[in-house]
Amino acid sequence: MIERIREKSSGNLTQDEIAKRVAEGWKLVAVEWERERAEAEPVAPEPWGEVPFGLRVSGDCAHLEDDPHEREALIAMMELTIEDGPYSSIADELNRRGLRTREGHRWTPVSVFQMLPRLIEVGPKIFSSEEWEKRRQRLAQI
């Protein structure tokens, strides 16, 4: 079995820190760098693609897991879409519920429309969940 840890660094990685970890049996396998960028500087797309809305990288960085806030937004979008509401009403209701886009922005009719491919992709998983069954029963009563 392999054990992995991820530590937030407050400065430069020193040779002493590396030597200490190696002495404890650890092997350096990755280094992640970040910097402030100029607002106008374009962001290069990640080589592996963007993490789909509703998911996030797990704490061990080995797989994706559900993001509860984004998942709630997807389920609400699905519910409101089934109720046959216009995109503007769906956006208004998502904003009323305090749900935001991944970037923290308010939903707009366009941003809701852009989520349709993701809703189609995640629909079977949503429709087979216990949570959706409860919502479906409530929708049938309306």
Residue keyed to tokens 């030597």: 19
Question: What mean pLDDT, rounded, does the chain reach?
Answer: 85
Q: pLDDT, tens digit, for every residue of 52-84?
A: 999 998 888 888 899 999 999 999 998 898 888
What proportion of the chain, given as a percentage, has pLDDT over 70?
A: 92
For residue 70, the SS3 value is helix
User: Of 19-23, 34-38, 80-84, which gets the smallest average pLDDT?
Assistant: 34-38
Asked whether the beta carbons of 90 and 77 are under 8 A apart, the reply is yes
Pull the structure tokens for residue 22: 């190696």
